[in-house]
Amino acid sequence: MASQDWFDKDFYSVLGVAKDVSEADLKKTYRKLARKYHPDSNQGDAAAEAKFKEVSEAYSVLSDAEQRKEYDQIRAMGSGARFTAGGQGAQGGFEDVFSMFNQGRGARYQNAEDFDDIFAMFNQQQRGTGFGSGRFGQPSGGFRGYGGPTRGADVIARTTIDFLTATKGETITLQGEDGKPFKVKIPAGVSDGQKIRLRGRGRPSPDGGESGDIVVQVTVRPHPVFTRDGINLRVTVPVTFTEAALGATIEVPTLGGDPVRLRVAPGTPSGRVLRVKGRGVETSKGTGDLLAEVQVAVPSHLDEAAREALERYQSLEPKENPRAELMSKARG
C-alpha cells in the first residue's frame, strides 16, 4: 500500500468501527467481516473479493499498534497532502507535507533533524504486517497480500473401532477425500467420541498459508462385558448367595488376557467393588485398574431339598430388618 493511500482511505469506516475502538472489538469485527466476504465463501464474486481485500488491508494496519498510531498521525495532516513519484510534474510532492509542518514551526527546515521528523513516520511502515521486506508499499502474505495467510480447511473423517482396539491402541488405515489411503495412529485409551487431529493433512491454503488438518472422529463399539471408567475398566461379577455369605475365591475375566482369581470375603454385600491393580487401560499417562463389582445372584429355580434348606435357614437367621435404617432416614 502506497503512503498516499493512507490519506485517501478511511480504515475505520471500512471496518465500521469508531476511532477509539478497542483491540478486542476490532478483532471481533474483522473476523465477522472476513468470514462474510472470504473468497472461499463467495466463489466468483468479484465484489466480495474486493471487499475482503479492503477489510483485510484496513485490519492489517489498525491491528498493529505502531502502524495505527502512524496512520492516525498521517490522516490528521489532512487529505490534501500527497506523495508523488519522481519525474515530470513531481515538484509539489513532498513539499505539500513539508509545508504543513512549516506552518507549525513558522520557518523552513534548517537541518537534517527537521527532515527526520517526517521520514521517521514512514520508515516504520516497512516493519508492519502489511508490508514486504525492504520495499515501501509492497504488501505481503494473506489473500493477495492482505490480512495474513488463510489457513486451509479441516477435513472430517469418521471411524468405528472395537473396544479392545480403543483400549490397546493401534494404527489403522482410512480412505481420504481423494480416495487415497492414509494411516491414523489410534492412541491407547481413546474414548468414544474423541477426536484425533492430524496436523497439516487437510485441505491446502488458497493463498500460501498452512494447510488444514484431518480431524478423525472415533466411535467405539461397546463391549459385552467391560465398560470404561476413565483409565479403569469395570466388570460386574455375579456370585452366589453362599459365596457372598460364607466367602469364596472366584475367577474374574480380564480384557484380552487370562482371568484372575479374587477373594470374596465372608459377608460381602452386592455392589461391593474389588480392585485388581494394573489390569485396566494402559495409556501414556498411566495404567488403570480392573474394578470388579460383586452382584449377588438369586437362584430362579430351587428343588425341594434346596427350598427346605432355605426355609430352615430363614427360621434361624437374625431377626433384623435390613431396611430399618433406610426407612428411618427416609422419614428423616
- Res 96 pLDDT > 90: no
* pTM confidence score: 0.52
**Residue-wise pLDDT tens digits, 162-181:** 999 999 999 999 988 778 89
Do both 84 and 10 map to the same domain? yes
Q: Give the CA distances from residue 83 to residues 232, 267, 308, in Å, rounded to whole numbers and listed in that order.
A: 72, 95, 112
- Which of 194, 220, 246 marks a domain boundary? 220
pLDDT at 281 over 70: yes
Answer whether residue 128 shows pLDDT above 70: no
Summarised one tens digit per residue, pLDDT across range 101-112 is: 444 444 343 443
Give the Å distances, CA to CA, from 220 to 169, 187, 223, 228, 234. Answer: 12, 13, 9, 11, 16
pLDDT band at 4 (very low <50, low <70, confident <90, very high): low
Q: What is the pLDDT of residues 38-57, one digit of tens each?
A: 877 787 788 888 888 888 88
Q: How far apart are CA 94 and CA 260, in angstroms?
A: 90
Residue 181 lies in a domain: yes
Verify that 206 and 264 share a domain, yes or no.
Answer: no
The band of 97, judged by pLDDT with boundaries at 50, 70 and 90, is very low
**Cα–Cα distance measured from residue 27 to residue 20, given in angstroms and rounded to the nearest whole number:** 13
Total of domains in the chain: 3
Does any domain span residue 237?
yes
Average pLDDT value for residue range 82-90: 41
207 assigned to some structural domain: yes
Domain region containing 261: 227-331
Residues 61, 23 share a domain: yes
d(CA 160, CA 241): 40
* CATH of residue 293: 2.60.260.20
In this structure, the answer to whether residues 61 and 89 fall within a common structural domain is yes
Question: Is residue 126 scored above 50 in pLDDT?
Answer: no
Residue 157 clears pLDDT 50, i.e. is over it? yes
Verify that 193 and 277 share a domain, yes or no.
Answer: no
Q: Tell me, yes or no, whether 194 lies in a domain.
A: yes
- The reply to whether 149 falls in a domain is no
Of the chain, the percentage scoring pLDDT greater than 70 comes to 76
Asked if 145 contacts 139 with a C-beta cutoff of 8 angstroms, the reply is yes
Question: Does residue 239 share a domain with residue 206?
Answer: no
What pLDDT was estimated at residue 92?
Answer: 43
Where among 127, 147, 179 does a domain terminate?
Answer: 127
CA distance 66 to 125: 9
